[in-house]
Amino acid sequence: MAGGDDLESDDEYLNQDWHDDESVEVAVDDSNAPEETESKKRSASDLEEEEDIVTSKKKKKQKTPKNLLLETGRNVADSSPDVQASFLWTAFTHALKLKGEEIKAEKFSPKHFAQPKEKVDTSKYEKSMTKYLKSGVLSSMKRMKKWKVEKSPMVIIVSSSALRSVAILKDISSLNIRVAKLFAKHMNVSDQVSMLENNKYAVAVGTPNRLLKLIQTDRDEDGDGALSLESTELIIIDCFEDKKKFTVCTMNDTAPDMMEFINQGVVPQMKKRNNIKFGFF
């Protein structure tokens, strides 16, 4: 499984292997280049051919699909539902194609993305997951606080690393709810399986690789693992940027597992019901 346990490192960034690195045509502006000295009279066809070459070189410069995806990912939490849907679908399909997997999901659309009903002001203060949860992205804060469903948290927050998960846990501690810690720091998979079996959690915070392992572990005849998304209503994708401005959706060490978690865990639920959504924070 690529990505290990999503522990933060300096070598986990998106590279040419993760994304389609096929480039589109790049233009070069040679308007200041010296003209060739005409040594002999050219025919009309020669001049036409030369004009075509110059025109081709001056075409508007475009970026590779990889770079466009990375740039969009850096602002996606503040973008419109249309942009969010397009971004996640592109990242999702690229990941599956690179693994040779068939894409069986319905194309993501704005209806699959929860949006805050109240504007969260981040101009003066650091972004807060607590404020985000209270902004209207949930169907009900009261339901979340009274959540009693086994193995299936109402909210699953996916972050890029154990360190980032710990920061989110500190942020939401004021909500006074039970939160499942589903990342590699201090806990192995078997401990987390037991924890999910014996407790009920309104929220889970985890990393893609560990979440993927938990939905694959101890699967029953209905396909539900130790972690089930059967009743989960919101998958929050934490868009925290590392020092090189990569996120959980574009970081080479986490993106493949992030998209496979969506493929194996979220997509099957989206086919069954319309009350499971993504949220970008």
Specify if 50 maps to a domain. Answer: no
Q: Which residues contact 266 (CB under 8 A, 6 or more apart)?
A: 229, 235, 276, 278
Write the pLDDT tens digit of every residue in 168-207. Answer: 999 999 999 999 999 997 789 999 999 999 999 999 999 9
Residue 29 — left, alpha, or beta (φ > 0 → left; ψ -120 to 50 → alpha)? beta
Task: Report if residue 28 sits inside a domain.
Answer: no
Residue 258: pLDDT band (50, 70, 90) is: very high
CB atoms within 10 A of CB 202: 20
**Residue 185 sits in a domain of what CATH number?**
3.40.50.300
**Residue 52: band (very low, low, confident or very high) from pLDDT cuts 50, 70, 90:** low
Residue 172 pLDDT: 96
CB 154 within 8 A of CB 232: yes
Q: Whole-angstrom Cα distance, residue 81 to residue 28?
A: 35
16 in any annotated domain: no
Q: Provide the domain count of the chain.
A: 1
Residue 130 is encoded by which pair of tokens?
């607590």
* 7 touches 162 (CB < 8 A): yes
What is the rounded CA–CA span in Å between residue 106 and residue 124?
Answer: 39
255-272 exposure pattern, b = at least 16 Cβ within 10 A, e = fewer: bbbbbbbbbbbbbbbbee
What pLDDT is attached to residue 31? 46
Query: Of 214 and 46, which is predicted with more confidence?
Result: 214
User: What's the confidence (pLDDT) of residue 66?
Assistant: 73
Q: pLDDT band at 223, cuts 50/70/90?
A: confident
**Cα→Cα distances 133→119, 127, 146, 236, Å:** 12, 11, 15, 10
Could you tell me the residue range of the domain that residue 154 belongs to? 65-280
**43 contacts 198 by C-beta, under 8 angstroms:** no
For residue 203, tell me if it sits in a domain: yes
pLDDT, average across residues 198-222: 92
CB-based contact 209:252 (threshold 8 Å): no
Q: Put the strands of the sheet holding 155-158 in their side by side order.
A: 179-182, 203-206, 155-158, 234-237, 277-280
* Residue 9 maps to a domain: no
Decide if 248 contacts 255 (C-beta within 8 A): yes
Does residue 56 surpass a pLDDT of 90?
no
- Residue 78, domain member (yes or no): yes
Q: Is residue 5 part of a domain?
A: no
pLDDT at residue 51, as a whole number: 63
pLDDT digits (tens, 9 = 90+) for 63-93: 676 777 888 888 899 999 999 999 999 999 9
The pLDDT confidence band at residue 278, using thresholds 50, 70 and 90, is very high
The verdict on residue 177 lying in a domain is yes
Q: Return the structure tokens found at 69.
A: 């995806």
pLDDT at 28 over 70: no
pLDDT of residue 19: 47
As a whole number, the mean pLDDT across the chain is 82
In one-letter notation, the amino acid at residue 164 is: R
**Structure tokens given for 235:** 């998958």
Residue 118: per-residue pLDDT: 74
Tens digit of each residue's pLDDT (9 = 90 or more) over 98-137: 889 889 899 999 999 999 887 665 554 578 999 999 999 9
